[in-house]
């Protein structure tokens, strides 16, 4: 699903965020991405999203060489990737329903389709009853679940989550992880960047570890990159 081959990224400032990174994530895997602050986790995600381009090396996503994806093809490519952020980036001047509907409206879906898909997605995260509320009236954990419903409403093959539990207490974090596991069981591939070593340890999934822009563990599906219990 995702293959990095000798990928380096140097920003215009001269900072080398990733250095000759090699790894492979198979379709249907759920992988944690970990490493200290500044290790390159967000840069790796931005390269997959085509928000940044590598200075060296090749990136394949879904069997496609991403360097060939340019111009108007980028928006189309991104529709197959759901993104979840720590600060979920909800719009507080619209309802929960409208927030989740946004990617479908951008993609030009018909209203009837939008209604059906948004409700199915809100149902999965347990927020169907709150569709008319403004997200500002929801708790932090509920807001994060709205962000997750929006990320999966398109039924993407791949979900990227950057510190999705950063602001949440341990119980809510575990709940978000249960949701991610359910999506994984439905066949989605997930890459989750997190600092939360305890939480990652309990999930018993592969851990891809970065240190100073290099992969130090868990580069391949069969590598022993699991967190210590
Ligand atoms: N747009 C940018 N321009 C210049 N340098 C950048 C840019 N974005 C990131 N960097 C640098 O690249 C390195 C890796 O940053 P990145 O954000 O990928 O790390 P991270 O592992 O996600 O960190 P954190 O856990 O703190 O979010 C850091 O040294 C950072 O300062």
Tokens of 55: 């200075």
**Shortest-distance Cα residue to atom 10 of ligand 1:** 17
Distance from the CA of 117 to the center of ligand 1, in angstroms? 35
Distance from the CA of 68 to the center of ligand 1, in angstroms? 25
Tokens of 175: 């709940």
State how far the Cα of 74 lies from the Cα of 51, in Å rounded to an integer. Answer: 10
Report in angstroms the alpha-carbon separations of 58 from 7, 18, 78, 215.
Answer: 6, 13, 18, 16
Is the minimum distance from the CB of 11 to ligand 1 under 6 angstroms? yes
Residue 229 has a pLDDT of: 40
Tokens of 179: 């949701």
Q: pLDDT by residue (tens digit) across 54-97?
A: 999 999 999 999 999 999 999 999 999 999 987 768 999 999 99
**Shortest-distance Cα residue to atom 4 of ligand 1:** 11
Gyration radius from the chain CA atoms: 17
State how far the Cα of 133 lies from the Cα of 154, in Å rounded to an integer. Answer: 22
The question of ipTM being above 0.85 is answered as: yes
Q: pLDDT by residue (tens digit) across 138-186?
A: 998 899 999 999 999 989 999 999 999 887 888 888 988 999 999 999 9
E-state strands within 28-155? 30-34, 56-61, 64-65, 81-85
Taking residues 111-123, report their average pLDDT.
95
Is the minimum distance from the CB of 13 to ligand 1 under 6 angstroms? yes
**Shortest-distance Cα residue to atom 7 of ligand 1:** 11
Contact 143, 135 (CB under 8 A): yes
Mutate to test the pocket of ligand 1, among 13, 17, 19, 52 (most ligand atoms within 8 A of CB): 17
Is the minimum distance from the CB of 41 to ligand 1 under 6 angstroms? yes
Distance from the CA of 213 to the center of ligand 1, in angstroms? 10
E-state strands within the chain? 2-10, 16-25, 30-34, 56-61, 64-65, 81-85, 158-162, 189-193, 206-211, 214-217
Residue 219 has a pLDDT of: 87
Report in angstroms the alpha-carbon separations of 105 from 86, 113, 134, 174, 222.
Answer: 23, 10, 18, 31, 40
Q: pLDDT by residue (tens digit) across 204-223?
A: 999 999 999 999 988 888 76
Nearest-CA neighbor of 77 among 49, 54, 105? 49
Nearest-CA neighbor of 21 among 45, 1, 49? 45
State how far the Cα of 53 lies from the Cα of 43, in Å rounded to an integer. Answer: 10
- Report the Cα 182 to chain-centroid distance in Å: 15
Mutate to test the pocket of ligand 1, among 8, 34, 41, 161 (most ligand atoms within 8 A of CB): 41
């Amino acid at each position: 699903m995702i293959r990095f081959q000798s990928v380096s990224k140097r920003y215009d400032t001269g900072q080398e965020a990733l250095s000759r990174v090699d790894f492979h994530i198979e379709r249907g895997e759920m992988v944690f991405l970990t490493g200290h602050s500044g290790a390159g986790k967000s840069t790796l995600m931005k390269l997959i999203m085509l928000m940044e381009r590598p200075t060296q090396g090749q990136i394949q996503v879904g069997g496609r060489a991403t360097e060939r994806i340019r111009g108007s093809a980028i928006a189309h490519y991104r529709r197959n990737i759901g993104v979840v952020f720590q600060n979920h980036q909800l719009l507080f001047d619209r309802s929960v329903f409208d927030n989740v509907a946004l990617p479908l409206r951008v993609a030009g879906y018909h209203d009837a389709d939008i209604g059906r898909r948004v409700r199915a997605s809100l149902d999965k995260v347990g927020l169907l009853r709150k569709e008319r509320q403004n997200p500002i009236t929801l708790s932090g954990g509920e807001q994060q679940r709205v962000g997750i419903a929006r990320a999966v409403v398109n039924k993407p093959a791949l979900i990227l989550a950057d510190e999705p539990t950063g602001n949440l207490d341990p119980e809510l974090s575990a709940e978000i992880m249960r949701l991610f596991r359910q999506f994984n069981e439905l066949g989605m591939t997930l890459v989750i960047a997190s600092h939360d070593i305890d939480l990652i340890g309990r999930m018993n999934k592969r851990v891809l570890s970065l240190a100073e822009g290099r992969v130090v563990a868990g580069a391949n599906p069969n590598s022993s990159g699991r967190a210590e219990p």
